[in-house]
Structure 1
Amino acid sequence: MGHLITVATCALNQWALDFEGNLNRILESIRIAKKRGATLRRIWLLRPFFGGCVYFPFTALVHDRFNKKILNIRLIDRKNKGDTYLHSWEMLSIILNNEETHGILLDVGMPVMHKTFKYNCRVIVLNGKILLIRPKMYLANDGNYREMRFFTPWIQKRVITVPFGDAVIATTDTCIGVETCEELFTPNSPHIGMGLDGVEIFTNSSGSHHELRKLNTRIDLIKEATQKLGGVYLYSNQQGCDGDRLYYDGCALVAVNGQIVSQGSQFSLKDVEVITATIDIEDVRSFRGSSASRGIQASESPAYHRIFANISLSGIGLDADIGVRPDKMRPPFYHTPEQEITLGPACWMWDYLRRSKTGGYFLPLSGGIDSCATATIVASMCRLVAESAREGDIQVIKDARRMTGEPEDSEYLPTDPREFANRIFHTCYMGTENSSQETRVRAKELAELSYRSQHGYCRASSARPIFVSDREGPSIPPAWWHRCREPCSAEHPSSPKDGVSLPLRPASSMGPWKDHTCSACAWKCECGRKVGRKPVPAHPTRRGDLVTLRGYLTKYDCSSADINPIGAISKTDLKRFIAYAQKEFDMPILEKFLTATPTAELEPITKDYVQADEIDMGMTYDELSIFGRLRKIERCGPFSMFSKLVHEWGEILRPSQVAEKVKRFFFYYSINRHKLTTLTPSYHAESYSPDDNRFDLRPFLYNASWSWQFKRIDQAAEALDNLNNVE
């Protein structure tokens, strides 16, 4: 008879510094896990990345903490100002003293001060006692993460001081090892040494943010962790908005011997999601026994310190439940990139709304595909809310009632997504004298027919006389003032530089206008209930992908808002998303946005001329996406980018043409880097994000001439052109 163990893992929508909320979600997940018969439980107390500094005398407390259930931390730490560390211990004390948490092995995450140094730790708890505090050894310190700003890595492998350090837990029937987040992604992951030393169950509490197509990589790593090594891998991931640009997509997993046996949802509005699986630990032992090489490597592997836990996780002999069967293997489930765009930013926007205590969204519509995509994501958010309401999600219903101004005792249920959108979603077409009737009608049809949002109209050009009159006076040079009074365009400029500045002036006025509208006004729904300020999601004109790197946007125009759900999604993926939503949401109007020519409508439309973005930029959106990936992800400078593209585009472009495109990109990239410093916080959907506030930390002032680099490109292009001519 096998040794069956029911394990549980979870995805919790935790929020940094929301101590009571985080605690309640943890306790709720423990109740769910125990109802399902789990004896091993992985949970989060807080997300693993914190700011804040504290001196906490941990070593002075550890002896008492291990011999008593809890110590009164308030009295000991009263003079210290490390609120995060203090309150974390207070929450842990409640967990230790709560009888509901007994009889189950818990893995809780929290920051710990040890010998005056700060560590990101896992705390293993059983029956009101701490068994082990295991600090994280490998910290995420690139991309979106700066974990070493807050924590110190524990580099003393297999060393502990009291039960603090790199150790494993031995129960009466198995052995459990802990690793955290980034440690799964490192080449020499802790689970390798643990597995060779006999650890059979691995737990990982992660804060892995969502990126398009990233789940594939994550699942491959989890499967690989036990495919060669054998074992049970329990993966828990944070879920929800982190209060910033990232969205953690959940998708808790249980894997056995390289195969998935249980998988949670990747995108959900639920605050607590628990998944369980029943596994047979004998399967791990059989799997490992089939490899002689593994046994040889295990004999050479250093031993871990084992901390004994007086608990049996499996039913043995007469105590076994013959009615329980292990879960079967199942293939992993993946969303398509179009579905990820539909769900990820929508969940992020919902979390932003409910946590900011605001009453909905106000979105300026331009009639282009970027604002259309943002509006469609809001529609997706409303669909998710309606689905959760139909399933009886109490927290979603409560949040929806607050947003719509309903009293707490109301029976209102947001089960109709379009009706709910009508209550929380306001749109406005912001045009200029250069805007076409076509874009205005397209925006109106999108708002009223598809979303039933409350829609309005505003001409940004009406703000121009205000700017003009305010700038009259002796302090302004007459020549400059003349250029401002007479609008100029690329077609009819007054001087070589005039075509850039003035047509953007109406666009620049949109930012202050809509921010004033949303901040100063208390919006009311049609029934008259006051619902409060509505944050503005950016519809980043020409900013749906890496056009920002090219600098083709206006500072403080419609790209300036409260949040930006499409700021790091490529134009290619965005179009695929719109095509998907057209069918999935039954919105035929979206076809008009897919076929429309991308234009900023900043210049007058004539019989023979319509401003087009790709012509203005001197490169297509597809080319721009390639430039952005090479520059950001592959870290290419001008010459290395040319060297790659001259081969990739060699069949369609001459080397000299490739050289001109590369030089054009780097010139505009250099002179417009300053625009990235004012970008609206964007949903981080791809690793090529140009957001320099957090992800792209390179300088915003470059030598735009790139004299030596461009010279080397010209030399190489000339040599290749001559070689091709000879052939």
Structure 2
Amino acid sequence: MVHYTTVATCALNQWALDFEGNYQRIRESILQAKALNARLRIGPELEIPGYGCYDHFLERDTVQHSWEVLSRLLEDRSLDDILIDTGMPILHRNTRYNCRVIILNGKIVLIRPKMFMANDGLYREMRWFVGWTKQAQTEEFVLPRFIARITGQRSVMFGDALVSTDDSCLGIELCEELFTPESPHIAMSLDGAEIIINSSGSHHELRKLKRRVDLITEATLKCGGIYLYSNQKGCDGDRMYYDGAAMVLVNGELLAMTSQFSIADVEVQVATVDLGAVRSFRAAIASRSMQAARAQTYPRAQVPFALSVELVDFDNSVRPTDPIPVRYHSPVEEINMGPACWLWDYLRRSGQGGFFLPLSGGLDSCSTALIVHSMCRQVTAACKRGDQQVLHDVRKCVGAAAGPDYVPESAQELASHLFYTCYMGTENSSKETRARAAHLAKAIGSYHVDLNMDAVVSAIVSLFTLVTTRTPRYEVHGGSRAENLALQNIQARLRMLLAYLFAALLPWVRGRQRSVLVLGSANVDESLRGYFTKYDCSSADLNPIGSISKADLRKYVAYARDQMKLPVLDEFLEAMPSAELVPHSENYAQSDEVEMGMSYEELSVFGRLRKIEGCGPYSMVTHLLHIWGDKLTPREIADKVKRFFFYYSINRHKMTTITPAYHAETYSPDDNRYDLRPFLYNSSWTWQFKVVDDMIDRIEQREASAK
């Protein structure tokens, strides 16, 4: 006998609290899976209400509306003859659980609550849900009466159980459970679960996909079996971008995977797998069989349904899917695609008409502009492929000015409708930065304006002089540090005011009806150091690069130069990073790294040690003594670390107002969601720095006596 089954996994662009839209995408994915002859379909975590509901999970309405959506799925006879896995919050005995609901032909087979919560980094699941602690145990769950009338069931199994079909056995784990040391798939596999399904809400970070693939590969290599992984995709309503990559693996080999970055709302991936291959793989491992013989027994929800087509004779029309190699994007490709998809979701769902960016002629605003250009490229390509949802959203964003049948011809042509850029110069700005901004705007097709703010800056300074009779001067003209900083901040903050003015009215100037969203362009290293003005043009509606390092952005611009054929980007790569807020002189040219007292590369190292490694000043110095000891003295290392922590702490308050940024790096300092540290510090770090100084003194004494 040959037992082949076709299974389907989905990547859906769900949206928090968009119950109607979420329902339509779930239904469409099930119908697509059926059309591809799948007998099992799984979807993303909490796909009915959307994963990112956050404190809305505490509202009874969210649970109620989730049941209402489930009722529509249960009543729909076009969804019969396929085993369906979906997700929603459920109250059981007045306790809220994050659950998978398995349904078949209008009946609920099993409700499986999540056991291990994601509660670190960006995740706060324990704020809303409780983990199911009763391994391999179930309880009776009494269904809501309107659901019971649909299914004809008064109650169903609720808990940690397997689903037993006529020809196989199915185990369930949810997202974080794959990452835990004692993952449920191990015990389930030992008790005979041949298929493990995992419905996930896993966000994108640079270089993260490999970890997911490695974990699933290892799980199926060690345990044998079929593993279906589904994931949310798109912007669910917050800083995170969920990067899809739903996949099917069998016995350590990848058979199928959806795209990691896509602006399509629904992606369904199927694979035909051989249940016999799983049994042979497992039976050939004696040590696994020994453990399986004494394995814990799970309760089973019995389903009178076969996943496979039983083939007595060879049939060439039905064959298992061949393995494929994993497609990993490079970090620069991830920067090019992830934030661009996130921006598109935000734009189309916010109902706005495009983006406005203060284009300074520097690397950071250049990177932001390139990400918008990448968005336009992806949207244009989708329209040319005939994606009706994308085309509908494009016409909604562009508005009537382009006509009801508008189809973008190129990324540049689309940008001319959606993207506004502005160079905001002063007497301190250079001709080179002004020219770079204009050249880039022309290359990517943005609607560009160029202005001088000197009259506005002069008016603000004149007002101060009128009130106080004192006129502040730059440091190079003999002024104090306080005067110098105040004059720079006037320029920076006026740029924010002008950015919102032009974002609101430039579309009006062109006869457009909608205003546009303002984009910021502060990178993660500047945010970490606090090297930006509070409420300057880094204050915006969105920041696509706010969690990306300067080093990675530089690599990205070089990548875009080659891949997008934009030779103008050479000018940005060769330019020295400078705020251009003070007058130039023969003896002084403003430089970001000189003013910060540290390089961007050093800032990246400080950020990773502070956040990822959990280092304070002392442990950071001891760590860097090994890394930098061949090029810096212990005293130089200690001074750099102390300088970093001083400026980090005095500028920490800026993180309370930072623009919502695409989350891309694990050392993001964003305190609104990710980096929950105080914003008022004893910036002298008296005890910590003394411990560091004492250690450096001992090292120097030891080195001196060794000479």
TM-score, normalised with respect to structure 1: 0.92
Indicate whether 1:135 and 2:113 are aligned: yes
CA distances 1:641-680 after superposition (whole Å, capped 9, x unpaired): 0001011111111111111111111111111111111100
* Distance (Å, rounded) in 1 between the aligned partners of 2:372 and 2:287: 54
Q: Would you say the 8 A contact 2:493–2:535 is kept in 1?
A: yes
* Distance (Å, rounded) in 1 between the aligned partners of 2:38 and 2:368: 42
| One-letter code aligned to 2:50 | R
| One-letter code aligned to 1:516 | L
* Distance (Å, rounded) in 2 between the aligned partners of 1:160 and 1:472: 76
2:161 is aligned to 167
Question: What's the CA shift for 1:331?
Answer: 1.5
1:308 is aligned to 302
* Distance (Å, rounded) in 2 between the aligned partners of 1:129 and 1:114: 19
Q: 1:546 to 1:326 in 2, by over 3 A?
A: same
1:19 is aligned to 19
Q: Would you say the 8 A contact 1:564–1:680 is kept in 2?
A: yes
* Distance (Å, rounded) in 2 between the aligned partners of 1:500 and 1:471: 15
* Distance (Å, rounded) in 1 between the aligned partners of 2:455 and 2:204: 41
Question: What's the CA shift for 1:551?
Answer: 1.5
Residue 273 of structure 2 aligns to a residue whose secondary structure is: strand
CA distances 1:103-159 after superposition (whole Å, capped 9, x unpaired): 000000011111111111000000000010100011111111111111111111111
| One-letter code aligned to 1:460 | M
* Distance (Å, rounded) in 2 between the aligned partners of 1:223 and 1:12: 23
* Distance (Å, rounded) in 2 between the aligned partners of 1:193 and 1:255: 18
* Distance (Å, rounded) in 2 between the aligned partners of 1:117 and 1:536: 42
* Distance (Å, rounded) in 2 between the aligned partners of 1:522 and 1:570: 31
* Distance (Å, rounded) in 2 between the aligned partners of 1:607 and 1:407: 50
* Distance (Å, rounded) in 2 between the aligned partners of 1:142 and 1:613: 33
CA distances 1:280-331 after superposition (whole Å, capped 9, x unpaired): 0111111111111112212232111001000011112459855200011121
| One-letter code aligned to 2:576 | T
Question: What's the CA shift for 1:45?
Answer: 2.5
2:622 is aligned to 643
Residue 198 of structure 2 aligns to a residue whose secondary structure is: strand
1:406 is aligned to 400
Question: What's the CA shift for 1:716?
Answer: 1.6
Residue 674 of structure 1 aligns to a residue whose secondary structure is: helix
* Distance (Å, rounded) in 2 between the aligned partners of 1:227 and 1:54: 37
Indicate whether 1:212 and 2:197 are aligned: no
Residue 387 of structure 1 aligns to a residue whose secondary structure is: helix
Q: Would you say the 8 A contact 2:57–2:89 is kept in 1?
A: no
1:62 is aligned to none
* Distance (Å, rounded) in 2 between the aligned partners of 1:148 and 1:52: 11
* Distance (Å, rounded) in 2 between the aligned partners of 1:38 and 1:46: 25
2:553 is aligned to 574
Q: Would you say the 8 A contact 2:99–2:114 is kept in 1?
A: yes
2:519 is aligned to 537
Q: Would you say the 8 A contact 1:201–1:231 is kept in 2?
A: yes
* Distance (Å, rounded) in 2 between the aligned partners of 1:616 and 1:663: 16
2:440 is aligned to 446
Within the candidate set 557, 564, 567, 1:585 is matched to 564
2:597 is aligned to 618
2:49 is aligned to 46
CA distances 1:631-650 after superposition (whole Å, capped 9, x unpaired): 11111000100001011111
2:366 is aligned to 372
2:473 is aligned to 487
Q: Would you say the 8 A contact 2:473–2:480 is kept in 1?
A: no
Q: 1:578 to 1:10 in 2, by over 3 A?
A: same
Q: 1:420 to 1:261 in 2, by over 3 A?
A: same
Residue 613 of structure 2 aligns to a residue whose secondary structure is: coil
Question: What's the CA shift for 1:523?
Answer: 1.0
* Distance (Å, rounded) in 2 between the aligned partners of 1:317 and 1:250: 34
TM-score, normalised with respect to structure 2: 0.94
* Distance (Å, rounded) in 2 between the aligned partners of 1:578 and 1:674: 30
2:145 is aligned to none
1:501 is aligned to 486
Within the candidate set 176, 181, 196, 1:202 is matched to 196
Indicate whether 1:710 and 2:686 are aligned: no
Question: What's the CA shift for 1:531?
Answer: 3.9
Within the candidate set 451, 455, 461, 1:462 is matched to 455
2:503 is aligned to 518
Within the candidate set 266, 288, 297, 2:291 is matched to 297
* Distance (Å, rounded) in 2 between the aligned partners of 1:268 and 1:664: 42
Question: What's the CA shift for 1:46?
Answer: 3.5
| One-letter code aligned to 1:532 | R
Q: Would you say the 8 A contact 2:2–2:312 is kept in 1?
A: no
Within the candidate set 244, 260, 266, 1:266 is matched to 260
Indicate whether 1:123 and 2:128 are aligned: no
Residue 110 of structure 1 aligns to a residue whose secondary structure is: strand
Question: What's the CA shift for 1:94?
Answer: 0.5
| One-letter code aligned to 1:130 | I
Q: 1:513 to 1:196 in 2, by over 3 A?
A: same
Residue 497 of structure 1 aligns to a residue whose secondary structure is: helix
Residue 344 of structure 1 aligns to a residue whose secondary structure is: helix
* Distance (Å, rounded) in 2 between the aligned partners of 1:98 and 1:573: 49
* Distance (Å, rounded) in 1 between the aligned partners of 2:549 and 2:559: 15
2:176 is aligned to 182
Q: Would you say the 8 A contact 2:118–2:176 is kept in 1?
A: yes
CA distances 1:546-573 after superposition (whole Å, capped 9, x unpaired): 2222221101111100000001111111
| One-letter code aligned to 1:504 | N
Q: Would you say the 8 A contact 1:236–1:253 is kept in 2?
A: yes
Question: What's the CA shift for 1:226?
Answer: 1.1
Residue 423 of structure 2 aligns to a residue whose secondary structure is: strand
**Unaligned stretches of 5+ in structure 1?**
56-80
Indicate whether 1:106 and 2:90 are aligned: no
* Distance (Å, rounded) in 2 between the aligned partners of 1:190 and 1:329: 25
Q: 1:119 to 1:334 in 2, by over 3 A?
A: same
| One-letter code aligned to 1:102 | D
2:136 is aligned to 158
1:28 is aligned to 28
Residue 261 of structure 1 aligns to a residue whose secondary structure is: strand
1:660 is aligned to 639
1:2 is aligned to 2
Residue 93 of structure 1 aligns to a residue whose secondary structure is: helix
> What's the RMSD between the two structures over aligned residues?
1.8
* Distance (Å, rounded) in 1 between the aligned partners of 2:587 and 2:646: 30
Question: What's the CA shift for 1:464?
Answer: 2.5
Q: Would you say the 8 A contact 2:542–2:659 is kept in 1?
A: yes
Q: Would you say the 8 A contact 2:52–2:238 is kept in 1?
A: no
- The share of aligned pairs that are identical, in percent, is 53
Within the candidate set 89, 95, 100, 2:67 is matched to 89
| Aligned 1:684-703 pairs, distance under 5 A | 684-703=663-682
* Distance (Å, rounded) in 1 between the aligned partners of 2:660 and 2:454: 27
| Aligned 1:224-263 pairs, distance under 5 A | 224-263=218-257
Alignment size in residue pairs: 687
Residue 645 of structure 1 aligns to a residue whose secondary structure is: helix
Question: What's the CA shift for 1:244?
Answer: 1.0
CA distances 1:363-418 after superposition (whole Å, capped 9, x unpaired): 11111000000000110000001110111000111111112113898322113111
Indicate whether 1:605 and 2:599 are aligned: no
Residue 233 of structure 1 aligns to a residue whose secondary structure is: strand
* Distance (Å, rounded) in 2 between the aligned partners of 1:713 and 1:649: 16
| One-letter code aligned to 1:46 | P
Question: What's the CA shift for 1:451?
Answer: 1.1
